[in-house]
Structure 1
Amino acid sequence: MYLAPINTDLLLFEAEKESLYLALVEQLNKDFNLANESIDLALRITPDNLKSQLHEKIYRLISYKFAEYLNLLYIVDVSEEAIKKLDGSDLVILAEQVSFLILKREWQKVWFRNRYK
């Protein structure tokens, strides 16, 4: 049974533990490219750098390219309900929470694809 990690650090740890971290980075690059918002994450990126680059990218999208941000959420297939539950009063915190939702959804795709291939 699939149990989603409860925070970004645990998610990235689990991805590494299951040898799926590289697949997760590839999935992020793929979906960002599909949304025409290239993030260009190096395949050897550390989990900490991944976390900070993703957070920064989401913060910039929310702040300056909102339509593209919404398109990215659609491409990644982040739950609209989950987004609506977030408090948008602090953009830095919001970007961090959205980054986690994106990572969680991308991890789900990678995990299921690996599990049921």
Structure 2
Amino acid sequence: MALPVNFKDLIAEANALKLYKKLIVQLNKDLLFANVDIQFNEEILPTSLKLVLQDTVFHLIQHKFSDYLNLLYQVDVSEQKIKSLDSDDMVKLSEDVTFLILQREWQKVWYKNRGSS
């Protein structure tokens, strides 16, 4: 599986395979397990999903760092990928982390769907 390299490609692939709603379900499940108090409606527009999740990640980094780390652990985002990000600009960092979260969630959904086909 070749992972999408940006948000636009990820959403295009999820929509093409009719798995966007499953992506939201998987994200909601991991947010719940990570004790992050946000759940997304399955009908949310991709741009809204990205902005709200990015805002949540930004808030966690700034105010609830242990919850942020717990979310990364629950989603299973690669520590190596997180360490490779530039942490000087918090807005850019939260955008990059948001993509890594969505990318990992997409990977989970894609593999589950492939196994059930």
- Same topology, TM > 0.5: yes
Separation of aligned partners in 2, 1:34 and 1:103? 16
Separation of aligned partners in 2, 1:12 and 1:60? 24
Separation of aligned partners in 1, 2:8 and 2:55? 16
Per-residue deviation, 1:38: 2.6
The answer on whether the counterparts of 1:78 and 1:101 sit within 8 Å (CA) in structure 2 is: yes
The answer on whether the counterparts of 1:29 and 1:38 sit within 8 Å (CA) in structure 2 is: no
Q: Corresponding residue for 1:40?
A: 39
Q: Corresponding residue for 1:51?
A: 50
* Secondary structure at the counterpart of residue 23 of structure 1: helix
Per-residue deviation, 1:13: 1.4
Per-residue deviation, 1:101: 0.4
Which residue identity is paired with 1:82?
K
Separation of aligned partners in 2, 1:78 and 1:22? 20
Question: Taking structure 1 as the reference length, what is the TM-score of the superposition?
Answer: 0.97
Per-residue deviation, 1:8: 0.9
* Secondary structure at the counterpart of residue 10 of structure 1: helix
Separation of aligned partners in 1, 2:42 and 2:112? 19
Per-residue deviation, 1:73: 0.3
Q: Corresponding residue for 1:110?
A: 109
Count how many residue pairs are aligned between Structure 1 and Structure 2: 116
Separation of aligned partners in 1, 2:98 and 2:25? 16
Coordinate RMSD, CA, aligned: 0.6
Which residue identity is paired with 2:103?
K
Q: Percent identity?
A: 50
Unaligned runs of 5+ in 1: none
* Secondary structure at the counterpart of residue 62 of structure 2: helix
The answer on whether the counterparts of 1:8 and 1:100 sit within 8 Å (CA) in structure 2 is: yes
Detail structure 1 runs of 4+ shifted over 6 Å in the superposition. none
Separation of aligned partners in 1, 2:37 and 2:20? 19
